[in-house]
Amino acid sequence: MSAKSRRMLRTLATAVLLCAIGACLVQCGTRKAAKYDWECPPCEGGVMWDPTLGGQETPQESPPRAVLDIGDEVWVIVRPEGSSAPLDQDEPGSGALVATVPGETKEVPVPLKHTEVKASISGYIATTEVTQQFHNPFSSKIEAKYVFPLPQNAAINEFIMTVGERRIRGIIRERAEAERIYEEARDQGYVASLLTQERPNIFTQSVANIEPGKEIDINIRYFHTLAYVDGWYEYDFPMVVGPRFNPPGMSDGVGAVGRGSRGVSGQSTEVEYLKPGERSGHDIALSVAIDAGVPIEEIACASHVVTTQHEGPGKATVALNALDTIPNKDFVLRYKVAGGTVKSNLLVHRDERGGTFTLMLYPPESLNMIARKPMEMVFVLDCSGSMSGTPIAQAKKAIERALMHLEPDDTFQIIRFSNNASQLGAAPILASKDNVREGLDYLRSLEGEGGTMMIEGIKAALDFPHDERRLRFVTFLTDGYIGNDREIIGEVKKRIGASRVFSFGVGSSPNRYLLDRMAKLGRGAVAYLGHNDSPTEVMDTFFERVSHPAMTDIAIDWGALDAYDVYPRQIPDLFVGRPVILTGRFRGAGEAVVRIRGDIAGELRERTLAVNLDGASATHAGLPVVWARAKIADLYDQATYDNDRELPEQIKQVALDYGLMSAYTAFVAVDSLTQTAGEFGTTVSVPVTVPEGVRYETTVDE
């Protein structure tokens, strides 16, 4: 078949299904960046913007690699085929575990055998395919339930159930309807599966009627944009949901219970955790193929042991090492591209639905050259039980470092919260040497124990008397292990006032949805402090960011692009090292020039971007899905502080139109040709390990 014929066929078949098919043809990237040009209106002492922003980032040391040292535990998992265990057996033997610590670990059979993750990155858009391999290691039929995390900005638009050799594509439905279909199929003995969203980063996978010894695979595909922070692109894959604390009286939270204690938390969603000394055979494999489009300078993974294969200057494949396959922490991959190659760019795509674009807007270089004003720094430290041990030690080191950065004109305050909130003083404290010393003493006295009444910390920090002569930064350091995420996000929006919220996710598996949204609605930025990250480096980077003014009051003249429905609706401020991504629809055609104006320390700056809306460059087929996901996220945020009853309906409609997961839609798949005998059997949850560094005893209900 000739190339021409193939092209014709593709055109023909994709004409009606671009929204679905095209998503896998994403070809976004810096390679196709639009032409751009910086302009600075004449002004006294004005600083010209340098268009080549990639070259001046502060040189970064690569995050330390996780390596095995002498004395570390090494697990070797041997899983014999075909073995099964009775359901009522407490020590079933679906596999044999051989460990270096004899007699200490009990193998627990679980219905999830393996997770396979394959990601590919093109430019700043990642496509990830996740395969969950369910099986039945027991002697009677089961329904498997697995509560698992995915990135909070994942646009999930593909769901396939594999039964033997047959692959059945799941259908997006209104959530209640999907649940009803699944339950009816399950009760009649059909093999069926259901994917629901509990939080933007927590999902439940249900698989019905798995017969003993049988396997059923679930494939999920999603897209998301990568974070670009201080010169590094970052790809994250969460592997476990951390144990959440739910305030008294709450029932729609996320409960954390021990294996076999289903129902004790009283929450609508529950995660079952393996007890100390227990281990499941569930493991994970992960690989990421990077096509940066420009030369890659450095690749680093602080969270896991990885192997890297370079396949050219701009291409590499990173894979999880076979010795690091326990899914108990976030996988965090960072890579740095050649200096000077990262630029603001505008990508466009047009299909039968109209035009869609994304605009990645980089901060102007001149931000680095303008000094900051005096600051009022409020540190809010999560001292709950889940933070005890390594997480709180890391967080305290970070605050310690931050206190050292303060100048005599600055003020500070330290607020702690667990079951309640308390603080160092009643008002902002001048950052004199003596006061800083007193602050350090107070900080060292703090320990992690008790619940996570984060609302108390929010109130204490955002209602705190503000010194109007200073810029106020409220810095939260927390793992975010709470079930009332949305209440907290809504409170941040309501109480933000003159503050800017900077959230630091602490630990191996923080609640990135909460932390990201707090920072977003708090007009700040988010950063993460993993167990293998240096608190000093993370805090130094943060101070570099807040030590210069942000570009504020950004307004965009879209010109001939004729843009509409742009998200986020309120354009965020631009901080040093932190670009923002906007996505929207457009009606324009031909050549367009976009003008971006903003205020830096009282001076107006303007930048222009030229883009061709027609021709070969307008073929970034994944953009409509990215746009739809951004719109859903924006509406969902709005629902945390706005009682508009139309919002759920609007979210649902966008999700159905684009075939996307949301709080109000779900994927269901039924194999109507595989009807098993008898009732649907016992429901078995997939118990997971508590995240690395988190103590079971202080976080999980028995």
Partner 1 sequence: MRRLTAIVLVALLAACVWPQAPAQDNGRVRFRAVDVIIDTGDAPLAAYQFELAAETGTIAIVGVEGGEHPAFAEPPYYDPAALQKNHIIIAAFSTQTDLPAGKVRVARVHVQVTGDTEPEYVVVLRVAASPDGTHIPATATASESRGETQ
Q: Which residues bind partner 1 (CB under 8 A)?
A: 1-2, 4-14, 16-17, 19-21, 160-161, 166-173, 177, 181, 184-185, 188, 190, 192, 656-659, 668-676
Which residues in 200-268 belong to E strands, given as ranges? 202-210, 215-225, 227-229, 232-237, 254-258
Collapsing DSSP states into helix, strand and coil, what is residue 644? coil
Minimum separation from the CB atom of position 218 to partner 1 (A): 13
Nearest to 153 by CA among 515, 475, 474: 515
Minimum separation from the CB atom of position 651 to partner 1 (A): 15
Minimum separation from the CB atom of position 198 to partner 1 (A): 22
Rg (Cα) of the chain, in Å, rounded? 25
Q: Give 61 or 165: the residue with its C-beta nearer to partner 1.
A: 165
Collapsing DSSP states into helix, strand and coil, what is residue 26? coil
Q: Give 185 or 403: the residue with its C-beta nearer to partner 1.
A: 185
Q: Is the CB of residue 461 less than 8 Å from the CB of residue 495? A: no
Mention every residue, 6+ apart, whose C-beta is less than 8 A from residue 464: 378, 413, 415, 428
Q: Is the CB of residue 352 less than 8 Å from the CB of residue 18? A: yes
Q: Give 14 or 84: the residue with its C-beta nearer to partner 1.
A: 14
Q: Which parts of 485-622 fold into alpha helices (H)?
A: 485-495, 512-521, 535-546
Q: Give 29 or 170: the residue with its C-beta nearer to partner 1.
A: 170
Q: Give 188 or 541: the residue with its C-beta nearer to partner 1.
A: 188
Minimum separation from the CB atom of position 679 to partner 1 (A): 16
Q: Give 157 or 699: the residue with its C-beta nearer to partner 1.
A: 157
Q: Give 233 or 658: the residue with its C-beta nearer to partner 1.
A: 658
Q: Give 154 or 515: the residue with its C-beta nearer to partner 1.
A: 154
Question: What is the 3 state secondary structure string of 37-100?
Answer: EEECCCCCCCCCCCCCHHHHCCCCCCCCCCCCCCCCCCEEEECCCCCCECCCCCCCCCCEEEEC
Minimum separation from the CB atom of position 177 to partner 1 (A): 7
671, HSE (Cβ side, Cα atoms, 13 Å): 25
Q: Give 178 or 383: the residue with its C-beta nearer to partner 1.
A: 178
Please tell me whether the peptide bond between 102 and the residue prior to it is cis, using omega within 30 degrees of 0: no
Q: Give 280 or 619: the residue with its C-beta nearer to partner 1.
A: 619
- Output the six-digit token pair for 472: 């106020």
Minimum separation from the CB atom of position 185 to partner 1 (A): 6
The residue behind tokens 């429901």 is: 683
Minimum separation from the CB atom of position 144 to partner 1 (A): 18
Minimum separation from the CB atom of position 136 to partner 1 (A): 14
Q: Is the CB of residue 687 less than 8 Å from the CB of residue 280? A: yes
Q: Give 12 or 70: the residue with its C-beta nearer to partner 1.
A: 12
577 backbone φψ class: left, alpha, beta (φ>0; ψ -120 to 50):
left
Minimum separation from the CB atom of position 192 to partner 1 (A): 8
Sign of CA dihedral 532, 534, 539, 540: negative
Q: Give 370 or 656: the residue with its C-beta nearer to partner 1.
A: 656
Q: Give 94 or 674: the residue with its C-beta nearer to partner 1.
A: 674
Nearest to 232 by CA among 390, 122, 124: 124
Minimum separation from the CB atom of position 16 to partner 1 (A): 6
Minimum separation from the CB atom of position 181 to partner 1 (A): 6
Q: Give 281 or 659: the residue with its C-beta nearer to partner 1.
A: 659
Helix crossing, 454-462 with 485-495: angle to 10°?
10
Minimum separation from the CB atom of position 222 to partner 1 (A): 15
Euclidean distance between CA atoms 110 and 87, whole angstroms: 11
Euclidean distance between CA atoms 528 and 366, whole angstroms: 26
Minimum separation from the CB atom of position 113 to partner 1 (A): 21
Q: Give 223 or 335: the residue with its C-beta nearer to partner 1.
A: 223
Minimum separation from the CB atom of position 1 to partner 1 (A): 5
Q: Give 260 or 354: the residue with its C-beta nearer to partner 1.
A: 354
Minimum separation from the CB atom of position 585 to partner 1 (A): 15
Euclidean distance between CA atoms 219 and 235, whole angstroms: 20
* Helix (H) / strand (E) containing 193: strand 190-199
Strand-pair category, 375-382 with 411-417: parallel
Euclidean distance between CA atoms 128 and 288, whole angstroms: 9
Q: Give 221 or 275: the residue with its C-beta nearer to partner 1.
A: 221
Minimum separation from the CB atom of position 206 to partner 1 (A): 14
Euclidean distance between CA atoms 702 and 692, whole angstroms: 19
Minimum separation from the CB atom of position 26 to partner 1 (A): 15
392: burial class by Cβ within 10 Å (0-12, 13-18, 19+)?
buried
> What strands, in cross-sheet order, belong to the sheet with 232-237?
227-229, 232-237, 331-337, 296-301
Give one DSSP letter per residue of 106-132, joined into a string.
EEE--SEEEEEEEEEEETTEEEEEEEE
Minimum separation from the CB atom of position 208 to partner 1 (A): 12
- Output the six-digit token pair for 82: 């075909």
Nearest to 290 by CA among 248, 243, 232: 232
Phi and psi, residue 12, nearest 5°:
-65, -50
Longest CA–CA span in the chain (Å) reads: 82
Q: Is the CB of residue 574 less than 8 Å from the CB of residue 363? A: yes
Q: Give 220 or 288: the residue with its C-beta nearer to partner 1.
A: 220
